[in-house]
Structure 1
């Protein structure tokens, strides 16, 4: 089940869109957007807070706190209900289209009476948008692409949504008497960036108690399939969950089979066939006699077929089977190997927690040996950064670091903004004072491919840019990535000694696993970072690790698995490249 925080976050985000459509009050809409983000990232469960506790949440005042209380008490907010009545459901759906947004959805509704996605597509094909102010042929193309993105996402959800739900169900089923093993399978176990449905596997000698417990779960809104060893439910959010119960003797073969991917499984079965064997979810059998050979563990199944165990994130038929057969399967990155986080934010800009709170969590909950604070630079005007503020923070970081008897070595950094011409916020002399600089694109997403590529390459060539942040700027299902020549950027990263970030925010996971594979071929080094804006979000680094695994990254590829001394040498080597000879 979703945390109450996430439920309130979604409600207030919807309300912000409704305000934009019905009143055009950008300031008020922005207030609810900020409140939604604060509530979603807040550590404490809002359902357990009193009015004073609610008003302690950043960006939550008395009026918003009252609405939270109303929702928690009644399951609805009258102001939101009233706003919904003023906007057709189809228009609300338009706001979800990437590249459109509430303001333009309102224009389309009021001017062209477009009130659904099919009506919008029809209007575009009829050329009716071209005469509207603020639209045009290129806008039509972008909106159509946004519709495609939204439709492609379909009912797929982000990893945290599927993961939290699956974790709750695994915990519930593991408590049923007779449970030998219970684990997540399917695309969630492979850490795909979005999940269409959740697969749960149980090992037990009797399946009936698990079928009964599963279909009676509080998360189940509907039972869509029910059988002796397999059942399916649909949750209130619409996500399908399937449960399969197998005998403990078949556990390994079943876990391999139900983890997939389909292409990986087909290839493994073909290998079995060539050896006179038959592989199914029940085990690995001799094809002639039908005798079961191995099945209890995945490791034994793979071993009998002449391969080491293949980590689930690699099982996509992208060469992992051949690598396993030839003894060159990588030992992919694990979360325990991360020694630090190189991209995080505090409430000095758009974070929700103080510097002290973020550092305490990095030390106590994550055990990092180094930790970078990288608040936004001044070119991102909405964050209101100044030279004075960042220098005051630097002193605060130094004092806090000196006071820590145990804990991470603190690095004072910043997230720079890559300007349209490839420049960054501060001059070289000022940048030299930072321990670490991340640089990212935050605006002007519509530049052409050549200009955008030059822009990013120039940023990589800056000796003070150590990490290239969230490369494509995509937001999964909401905003497409920028148009670049990735191989030219990867070559620049390798040439200049700039690490490429794997951004762990689950709606980014940018760069993707496919791009990681390409970048790795250029010899690029990577930084797996949380880009956390709250204490809770620090834990999101596990999603970046999963993406890194899918991209075949090892600890050697990732600079924040290195010792602090080696990391600092990497940073200093980049700076030396930009110094004049002599």
Structure 2
């Protein structure tokens, strides 16, 4: 289940969209959009706040606070329901299509009578959007592509959504009488970027109390099937949860069986068969006599198969079994390896928390260093100026030592222009400890142009990190079209770090591109791109993605001690002209 704050933030964002969709005041809609971001990023649980506490959240006024209070008390907001009633459900679905949004959805509904995604797809393909004001043939192409992106999701949800749901349900099952152990398995335990359903595994002699805990949970909307070893439900969020119960002595075998991908498990079972054995969720057995050889722990099962334990994030049948047999599996990076974050934002631009709050939250994570990287001026909506950035630098310098031994680095997130240029001249860029450069616009340039702009950014001596390199937003925006092998070669050649952005909406680079980049000898940084203090917790998703990309700690620069990191950043600047 989503955090309450995220849930309320999503509701306020929907209200903002509905206001625009129904012709409401644009300024009022923007104010609710701002409130939605503030509420979602607020670190304190809304349920603990009174009206005064709610209005202390930036962007939340009396009217917004009243709507939040109404939702907390009733689970509904009358004003939102009233606007929903004015808009056909299909039009609301149209708003979710990448590149569409409420204004275009309102336009096609008003001018063409389009009320469903299928009708919009037909209209775009038939050229009926070409003559609408502000649209045109290129926009129609983007809408068709956006519908394809949306449908490729196939009902899957972000890993953060699935994990929050799994944590809540597993906690309830653990409290059930007789439950000895409980956790999640499947694609969620492998930490895939999106999840189609949630597998929960528990150990108990009697499954009945555990089953009751699931079927009676407030999040359960429908029981799809129930038996002694497996119960399936559909939750109020539409996600299916399968609870499987095994005896405690078979816990390890159950975890192996229900965690690995189908292909990984097929190879394990084939290995067992070749050894005259049989592998199931209840253990590894002799095929003839049926004697159980291993089942209590995962390590026992893998060892009995002649393999070292393989981390869950690697169990995809991408060579991990062969590497394990050859002693080449390595030790993947862990969250404990990370010494600091090289990409964070404050309320100086589009972040939600003031500088000192972000630094305090980073310090609570016991990091050795953190970089503050607010947006640069070419992203005009952020209203950055030279004076604002220099004032922030002075503030950081004054705060050095205020957070124990954690060192405060001053950076910026530059904008990679369509031609590959970035904000600020070299003499200004030279004053930063590090510069992240990212694409924030012109997502539809052709392959050659996108490749050139990224390569040129890598070649800029003041760019240390390329942020969220493909620009994708999972389920909302496809990656840009670029020759990433050429980009990776340029990054390796110039010593430019590529980011593994830990935001669960991005996870960019993704695991397969990490593997491809690693072959070129690229260095990486796992960063949160945090815009609120709670976003720092997203680090675990970035680390999991790095693990899936087979990265070891030494290949991730923000696992390095500060002195080594500083030497690396300064060495990069030796490529500066002159």
- Provide the secondary structure at the position in 2 that maps to 1:577: coil
- Greater CA deviation, 437-446 or 58-67? 58-67
Match of 1:410 in 2: 408
Match of 2:229 in 1: 229
Match of 1:378 in 2: 377
Match of 2:436 in 1: 438
Is the contact between residue 371 and residue 410 of structure 1 (CA under 8 Å) also seen in structure 2? Answer: yes
- Provide the secondary structure at the position in 1 that maps to 2:245: strand
Distance 1:204 1:133 in 2: 63
Deviations 1:397-445 (A, max 9, x none): 01101444x2411101111111111111111111111111111011111
- Provide the secondary structure at the position in 2 that maps to 1:411: strand
Match of 2:386 in 1: 387
- Greater CA deviation, 301-310 or 554-563? 301-310
Deviations 1:449-487 (A, max 9, x none): 111111111111111111100011111101111111111
- Greater CA deviation, 186-195 or 67-76? 67-76
Match of 1:497 in 2: 495
- Provide the secondary structure at the position in 2 that maps to 1:7: helix
Using the TM superposition, give the Cα deviation of residue 209 of structure 1 relative to its aligned residue in structure 2, in angstroms. Answer: 1.7
Distance 2:305 2:210 in 1: 32
Using the TM superposition, give the Cα deviation of residue 70 of structure 1 relative to its aligned residue in structure 2, in angstroms. Answer: 2.3
Q: Say if 2:546 is the partner of 1:570.
A: no
Match runs of 1:178-257 below 5 Å? 178-257=178-257
- Greater CA deviation, 56-65 or 186-195? 56-65
Match of 1:401 in 2: 400
Change (3 A) 1:218 1:85: closer
Deviations 1:252-280 (A, max 9, x none): 11111101201110111111111111111
Match of 2:425 in 1: 427
RMSD (Å) for aligned C-alpha atoms:
1.3
Using the TM superposition, give the Cα deviation of residue 24 of structure 1 relative to its aligned residue in structure 2, in angstroms. Answer: 6.2
Is the contact between residue 363 and residue 407 of structure 1 (CA under 8 Å) also seen in structure 2? Answer: no
Change (3 A) 1:79 1:368: same
Match of 1:142 in 2: 142
Distance 2:172 2:83 in 1: 39
Match of 1:560 in 2: 558
Q: Say if 2:177 is the partner of 1:177.
A: yes
Match runs of 1:92-491 below 5 Å? 92-364=92-364, 366-404=365-403, 406-491=404-489
- Provide the secondary structure at the position in 1 that maps to 2:366: coil
Match of 1:64 in 2: 64
Distance 1:465 1:59 in 2: 34
Distance 2:129 2:357 in 1: 49
- Greater CA deviation, 39-48 or 138-147? 138-147
Is the contact between residue 362 and residue 371 of structure 1 (CA under 8 Å) also seen in structure 2? Answer: yes
Using the TM superposition, give the Cα deviation of residue 509 of structure 1 relative to its aligned residue in structure 2, in angstroms. Answer: 0.5
Match of 1:511 in 2: 509
Distance 1:178 1:79 in 2: 46
Deviations 1:355-394 (A, max 9, x none): 1111111112x10001111111111111111111111110
Match of 1:89 in 2: 89
Distance 2:207 2:218 in 1: 20
Using the TM superposition, give the Cα deviation of residue 565 of structure 1 relative to its aligned residue in structure 2, in angstroms. Answer: 0.6
Structure 1 spans left out of the alignment, 5+ residues? none
Distance 1:136 1:369 in 2: 51
- Greater CA deviation, 192-201 or 13-22? 13-22
**Count of aligned pairs between the two proteins:** 578
Using the TM superposition, give the Cα deviation of residue 132 of structure 1 relative to its aligned residue in structure 2, in angstroms. Answer: 2.6
- Greater CA deviation, 39-48 or 529-538? 39-48
Q: Say if 2:24 is the partner of 1:4.
A: no
Is the contact between residue 9 and residue 39 of structure 1 (CA under 8 Å) also seen in structure 2? Answer: yes
Deviations 1:491-522 (A, max 9, x none): 11101111000000100111111110100010
Q: TM-score, normalised by structure 1?
A: 0.97
- Provide the secondary structure at the position in 1 that maps to 2:120: helix
Is the contact between residue 220 and residue 235 of structure 1 (CA under 8 Å) also seen in structure 2? Answer: yes
Distance 2:539 2:202 in 1: 28
- Greater CA deviation, 124-133 or 239-248? 124-133
Match runs of 1:512-531 below 5 Å? 512-531=510-529
Change (3 A) 1:75 1:249: closer
Is the contact between residue 345 and residue 374 of structure 1 (CA under 8 Å) also seen in structure 2? Answer: yes
Match of 2:73 in 1: 73
- Provide the secondary structure at the position in 1 that maps to 2:410: strand
Deviations 1:282-315 (A, max 9, x none): 1111112222111111111111212111111111
Using the TM superposition, give the Cα deviation of residue 129 of structure 1 relative to its aligned residue in structure 2, in angstroms. Answer: 2.1
Distance 1:222 1:163 in 2: 20
Is the contact between residue 98 and residue 477 of structure 2 (CA under 8 Å) also seen in structure 1? Answer: yes
Using the TM superposition, give the Cα deviation of residue 66 of structure 1 relative to its aligned residue in structure 2, in angstroms. Answer: 2.1
- Provide the secondary structure at the position in 2 that maps to 1:382: helix
Distance 1:213 1:74 in 2: 24
Distance 2:33 2:545 in 1: 28
Is the contact between residue 226 and residue 232 of structure 2 (CA under 8 Å) also seen in structure 1? Answer: yes
Distance 1:78 1:282 in 2: 51
- Provide the secondary structure at the position in 1 that maps to 2:551: coil
Match of 1:548 in 2: 546
Q: TM-score, normalised by structure 2?
A: 0.98
Is the contact between residue 24 and residue 103 of structure 1 (CA under 8 Å) also seen in structure 2? Answer: no
